[in-house]
Chain A
């Protein structure tokens, strides 16, 4: 149980276009989802936290108009990179947690590699 999927696993887009990444909790209801960015050989950096039905909370330094996050249902959150540029190329990882506040664990998706040409 507790599986999180991401789609696509790898995407290449041209500079100036937008790309959407989906994060789905397959067998549980995710009241909170997190979006991370990971550069090669570096750690995960939290970009934003989203709660189902409400606006995402962005970390300091993350452009919310560039990285649009929508958490419209208890099983789906999307990250849209708008007007992508080569510097947005990175590995994006989502994670999800349940409504059970006693649960300690975040369940991670397999990640999406974004390449902007």
Chain B
């Protein structure tokens, strides 16, 4: 079974600075999807960014980018120019290929990000 590990329970960063959240995963599959979700105090899950394992290029969404290292099974999230609204719980998630089963998400333990003004 696949597992996802986030080794940083909490992180903090000064507003406007850059922070990187770590995520590692374990799988025997060669094709899969990786995601970062944000859960603010409202507790609504929000998709931040996704990465298809077959793509070598790292995904980028505005101030959010990932460092995907397939061989190392590492998938970190970099937030640039941190804003107060970025404060939330961040979850890394893994999903099997489309053709296999219902494509359920496997979540990491989460990292609570605090933004200091």
Contact = CB atoms under 8 A, between A and B. Distances in A.
Interface of A: 32, 34, 38, 41-46, 49, 51, 57, 91, 93, 95, 97, 101-102, 104-106, 108, 110-111
A32 B42 CA distance: 24
Contacts of A91: 43
Interface residues of B, number: 23
Given A44-B91, A108-B44, A111-B44, 20 more contacts: A32-B103, A34-B102, A41-B112, A42-B109, A42-B110, A43-B91, A43-B109, A43-B110, A45-B107, A46-B105, A46-B106, A51-B102, A57-B102, A93-B43, A93-B45, A97-B103, A104-B95, A105-B47, A105-B50, A111-B43
A108 B47 CA distance: 9
Contacts of A104: 33, 50, 52, 95, 98
B52 to A, nearest CB: 8
Nearest to B99: A101
B67 to A, nearest CB: 20
A89 B52 CA distance: 36
Contacts of A101: 98-99
A46 B102 CA distance: 12
